[in-house]
Structure 1
Amino acid sequence: MAYAEKVYKVRNGKQTKQYTWRARYKRPDGTWGSEPGFPTKTLAKEWGEGQEASIREGRWIDPALSRVTFGAFTKKWMAAQTPRGRTVINRWELLERHILPRWEHAPLHAITWFDVDAWSRTMTCAQSVVGHALTLMSQIMTGAVDARHIQVNPLYGRRKTGKSNSAAAGPRKSSEEEKWAPPETVLRLARRMGPVNGLLVLTTGWTGLRWGEGIGLHRRNTLLTRRQAYDGGFFECPILRVEADEGEVAEYSVREEGVKRKKRIQRLEPPKNATSVRDIDVPPFLAALLQKHLVEWPHDYVFSTPSGTWWWRNNWGILIRPAADGRGATKRHGRWPAKEAWEPIMPGLTMRDLRHTHDTWQAEDNVAPVLAHEQAGHKFPGIKGVYQHPTPEMRQYRLEALQRRFERAMRNLGWSDVWDV
């Protein structure tokens, strides 16, 4: 049975005549819990009786757990998650750059939607980042509910009100900045980067592989054969396979307790979702280039570094940036050879842009949407995604369109070979 007791204030080590009331109540394990700071005996007793009623009804939340700070619970929540590596990086970037500076020391029970919504309107980052930050906060608060730290998630199902300051981060990208590349541009970039690294550029442009899928492509999954019954015989074409267990290389930071510096690691992980596990049809010209490369390349991973290891994103950036953006000429310096000047081909072009390029080409060539979604590793939405399926005729049409696009670009450039021997 809950009751209230006096708690006398102490000043200079001596008890004074001033006091407050402390609630005492029976916890679920039979021990006595307490909560100080009530101005009257009645309020303290009523609060304790409310705790015991919640315990009997099975909805009690330990007040000590509800006072855990958002930052402390976030570390616990992040440690319990097992997402793909890139997701871990993205979450920590949101937490460290945006969320924790404001909410790290806030008790869980003190976080309200009113305060979070007001805070979101002061953020000067892109609207998409604001949305991701609110989503991540809501996921963590839902975790706090599941861990019985709080009764409800005040962020669940809520939508931002008013306008944020995200416009201060700069104007929206223009259509010219949301890049896709003409096939001639992809070929010029590939030639400049050489028969190995340039082949990854070509493969990304003509198949739409994600970055991690490309550098994680193993030779055992390269140029396998798709075989389907078609027109009284069989349709066959070479494919690249994205595996279910080790579909792509993830790169992320490992955080060690007590160590400030984060350790960067790479490892093979499953693709981001079930639809990303797929076989990608390869047009004839690309199959021939890959076949020649596999004969000459000594390593297991088709697009690895010269030593056979996976590329790091920043190291790949050192290669693709001058190739796409251009560079000035340099003289020989010690063991570093002289370099000729390169005119810009397409400043700012990235591997992600090349994946977008492939999907744009598919739309331009009127590839059946259900096949275009499959080849990109996307889920075809709606009931049509259940009823429609790619057919050999659809596949043949797509491959012929990609082959024509390559041949037309080669004619426009006046090339007979991709690589300038």
Structure 2
Amino acid sequence: MAYAEKRLSQAKGKKGKATWRARFKKPDGSWDSEPGFPTKNTALEYGQEQEAAIRAGTWIDPKLGRVRFGEWALEWLQAQSPRGRTTDNRWNLLESHILPRWRDTALIAFNWFEVEAWARRLAGTVAESTIRDAVGLLSRILTGAVDARRIPVNHLYNRRLTGVDAASGARRGLQAATVEVKPPVVPFATTETVLRLARRLGPLYGLHVLTTAFAGPRWEELVGLHRDNALLTRTEADEHGGMFTCPIIRIDAEIGALAEYAKRDPETGKRKAFRGIEPLKNPQSARDIDLPPFLADLLQQHLDARPYDYVFSTAKGKWWWRNAWYEIIRPAADGRPARPPGRGRPACEEWEPLHPGLTMRRLRHTHDTWQAEEDVHPLLQHEQAGHKYPGIKGVYQHPTPSMRRHRLAAFERRYERTMKALGWDRIWEAQ
């Protein structure tokens, strides 16, 4: 049973001053204490409250709530098992934004007022999406502390950030007054731009561009595509009693996709580069992507010319590093000056800009934008992009052969129309 115990201070300047300590039994039968109460009654009430909570099964050890956030965040990370890239993103948010401010804060000390004020101070210095991701991660870690019975409640849970967009806009306005603002990057490309970029890169690398723009795989799905999953055949009964067939590439759930990120030591957080095949991002990412006839023909030529296991690999059949591909696509899209030969490098002709800032992700945006332009049914748009169609319609409705024929014919016409406008009879120049 709880009781209060009188304590006399022996500290210099406070010697002989009386305080009270609450004593109560923990669930395991051992005695615990909490010092610092000014009167016997307040100490006794505290002890009785703890024992009442223990009997009700709701007691949380107050000492656990005083653990520093940095210590708990590391413990929480070690208990998670997401895809490797997600782990690396969480570490980056913690190291760059969260821990510098909250590392030494006790878990029990968090409140929404201070967190929102911190988020507003970040506005304008980092992207708004980064701020929301950081606050979201902070809240998830504190929810983990609630689930582990470290604290009774997460005061950040389900709270909505306000004022961040306004603060970001104000700071961007101040920066615009002193810094030259570059024109925004158009988030999708025209068909002509895609074809010109593909020709500029040549058949080995240009097929990356064509496949992303006309088929829409994610970068990691593209470079992780095994030749065993390239140019398979979809066969479905159509509404007229016949069979619909078309060539596909299969984004396989069992094989997964190529992942590239920094692995972290679970105790120290030390980074080590990793590249390898990992499970897909989500269940709907596993899919068969229908290929228009021209793209299937080009892919077949590509497979015939290359013996490597992975279809979209480097010239030597190795997996791509993102920064290595960046060095390929950036000058091709952004342009480059002419360069004379030297130090074992061949001369390079001048390239005029085609679409500055174009990336493989924006080519995937391009694919989805083209689907909308060509009136591809939304169900099929979502399926081909590896997205989940929202609501009950995503359960009850399904893509049909007619929808697939429409999409493939539209992309084939788009390709042929642009080739004719450019005056080309082949995508690759004669080698």
Would you say the 8 A contact 2:74–2:267 is kept in 1?
no
**Post-superposition offset of 1:371:** 0.6
Paired position in structure 2 for 1:241: 250
Paired position in structure 1 for 2:84: 85
The separation in 2 between residues aligned to 1:88 and 1:136, in whole angstroms, is 11
- Closer, same or farther: CA 121–48 of 1 in aligned 2, 3 Å: same
- Closer, same or farther: CA 392–265 of 1 in aligned 2, 3 Å: same
Paired position in structure 2 for 1:118: 117
Q: Does 1:138 align with 2:147?
A: no
Paired position in structure 2 for 1:227: 235
Paired position in structure 2 for 1:165: 167
SS of 1:367 mapped into structure 2: coil
**Post-superposition offset of 1:259:** 5.6
The separation in 2 between residues aligned to 1:28 and 1:279, in whole angstroms, is 56
**Post-superposition offset of 1:261:** 4.6
In structure 1, which of residues 332, 348, 359 is the aligned counterpart of residue 368 of structure 2?
Answer: 359
Would you say the 8 A contact 2:333–2:358 is kept in 1?
yes
The separation in 2 between residues aligned to 1:357 and 1:405, in whole angstroms, is 13
SS of 2:232 mapped into structure 1: strand
Q: Does 1:265 align with 2:274?
A: yes
Paired position in structure 2 for 1:46: 45
List per-residue Cα deviations over 1:142-162 (Å, max 9, x = no partner). 111111101111111211234
TM-score, normalised relative to structure 2: 0.93
Would you say the 8 A contact 1:88–1:252 is kept in 2?
no
Would you say the 8 A contact 2:220–2:257 is kept in 1?
yes
Paired position in structure 1 for 2:2: 2
**Post-superposition offset of 1:168:** 4.9
Would you say the 8 A contact 2:185–2:356 is kept in 1?
no
Paired position in structure 2 for 1:187: 195
In structure 2, which of residues 401, 411, 427 is the aligned counterpart of residue 402 of structure 1?
Answer: 411
Query: 5 Å matches for 1:267-416?
Result: 267-416=276-425
The residue type equivalent to 1:295 in the other structure is D
The separation in 1 between residues aligned to 2:73 and 2:270, in whole angstroms, is 19
The residue type equivalent to 1:202 in the other structure is L
Would you say the 8 A contact 1:4–1:22 is kept in 2?
yes
- Worse-matched range after superposition: 271-280 or 360-369: 271-280
- Closer, same or farther: CA 300–169 of 1 in aligned 2, 3 Å: farther
- Worse-matched range after superposition: 176-185 or 107-116: 176-185
The separation in 2 between residues aligned to 1:309 and 1:9, in whole angstroms, is 71
Paired position in structure 2 for 1:214: 222
- Closer, same or farther: CA 259–109 of 1 in aligned 2, 3 Å: closer
The separation in 1 between residues aligned to 2:415 and 2:255, in whole angstroms, is 30
The separation in 1 between residues aligned to 2:363 and 2:340, in whole angstroms, is 32
Paired position in structure 2 for 1:196: 204
The separation in 2 between residues aligned to 1:211 and 1:271, in whole angstroms, is 12
SS of 1:294 mapped into structure 2: helix
The residue type equivalent to 1:252 in the other structure is Y
Would you say the 8 A contact 1:126–1:167 is kept in 2?
no
The separation in 2 between residues aligned to 1:355 and 1:108, in whole angstroms, is 42
What value does the CA root-mean-square deviation take over the aligned residues? Answer: 2.1
SS of 2:10 mapped into structure 1: strand
The separation in 1 between residues aligned to 2:87 and 2:97, in whole angstroms, is 15
List per-residue Cα deviations over 1:113-156 (Å, max 9, x = no partner). 12212222222233222222222111111111111101111111
The separation in 2 between residues aligned to 1:239 and 1:85, in whole angstroms, is 28
Which ranges of structure 2 fall in alignment gaps of 5 or more residues? none
**Post-superposition offset of 1:344:** 0.8
Paired position in structure 2 for 1:60: 59
The separation in 1 between residues aligned to 2:103 and 2:133, in whole angstroms, is 17
The separation in 2 between residues aligned to 1:352 and 1:169, in whole angstroms, is 28
The residue type equivalent to 1:177 in the other structure is V
SS of 2:364 mapped into structure 1: helix
The separation in 2 between residues aligned to 1:108 and 1:302, in whole angstroms, is 49
- Closer, same or farther: CA 15–138 of 1 in aligned 2, 3 Å: closer
**Post-superposition offset of 1:25:** 1.1
List per-residue Cα deviations over 1:359-387 (Å, max 9, x = no partner). 00000000111111110111111222222
The separation in 1 between residues aligned to 2:38 and 2:14, in whole angstroms, is 18
**Post-superposition offset of 1:254:** 1.3
Q: Does 1:177 align with 2:185?
A: yes
SS of 1:177 mapped into structure 2: coil
The residue type equivalent to 1:158 in the other structure is R
Would you say the 8 A contact 2:88–2:264 is kept in 1?
no
The separation in 2 between residues aligned to 1:376 and 1:135, in whole angstroms, is 26
The separation in 1 between residues aligned to 2:32 and 2:268, in whole angstroms, is 37
Would you say the 8 A contact 1:245–1:269 is kept in 2?
no
Q: Does 1:106 align with 2:105?
A: yes
Paired position in structure 2 for 1:25: 24
TM-score, normalised relative to structure 1: 0.95
Would you say the 8 A contact 2:84–2:263 is kept in 1?
no
The separation in 1 between residues aligned to 2:367 and 2:78, in whole angstroms, is 37
- Closer, same or farther: CA 128–142 of 1 in aligned 2, 3 Å: same
Count of residue correspondences: 420
The residue type equivalent to 2:282 in the other structure is N
Would you say the 8 A contact 2:293–2:412 is kept in 1?
yes
The separation in 2 between residues aligned to 1:300 and 1:184, in whole angstroms, is 31
Question: Percent same amino acid at aligned positions?
Answer: 57
- Closer, same or farther: CA 187–90 of 1 in aligned 2, 3 Å: same
Would you say the 8 A contact 1:243–1:270 is kept in 2?
no
- Closer, same or farther: CA 175–224 of 1 in aligned 2, 3 Å: farther
